[in-house]
Copies of this chain bind each other. A is one copy, B any other.
Amino acid sequence: MMNKQSVIDLLQEHGVQSTQQRIEIAQILFAKPQHLSADQVLAKVNHKRNIVSKATVYNSLGLFARKGMIREIIADPNRVFYDSNTSEHHHFFNVDTGELSDLPNENITVNELPGLPEGTVADSIDVIFKVRNKAEKPSVF
């Protein structure tokens, strides 16, 4: 678990005012590289006692993502995941279980891009490699 002072420093580096709740949330996120949904963060933060409200968790995660502290991963149509690992890498997404895992970056190459859409600049690239459980026989609807 990242210590409190490191978290405060991290917040400041990213221009985010540090508050009790933001520190709690950041400590959960940066405990290790992981993918958590807002609800999962809420559950972890409030595991011991109720320290942070749902609204604040959502607000903080959105803020952290905008500030580049964490990365938003859109893979599951039902919820957004936040990744505390912002280094270049991509993801496996298990469509059966909804689990996300890391995909080493070396295996994906994006060549020179010919033309971005009119009047736009590159922001980021998300690669989602979808996998299914092997055992499950494909459901024949």
A interface residues (Cβ-Cβ under 8 A, vs B): 63, 66-67, 72, 74-77, 80, 92, 94-95, 99, 101, 103-104, 106-114, 116-117, 119-135, 141
Contact = CB atoms under 8 A, between A and B. Distances in A.
B107 A108 contact: no
B122 A131 contact: yes
A80 B119 CA distance: 25
Given A66-B141, A109-B109, A110-B107, A132 B127 contact: no
A109 B108 contact: yes
A138 to B, nearest CB: 10
Given A74-B75, A103-B113, 9 more contacts: A66-B141, A107-B113, A109-B111, A116-B131, A119-B134, A120-B132, A121-B132, A122-B130, A126-B130
B113 A129 contact: yes
18 contacts: A74-B75, A74-B128, A92-B116, A92-B120, A104-B114, A106-B111, A109-B109, A113-B129, A119-B134, A120-B131, A120-B132, A120-B133, A120-B134, A121-B133, A122-B129, A122-B130, A124-B129, A125-B128
Nearest to A125: B129
A116 B134 CA distance: 11
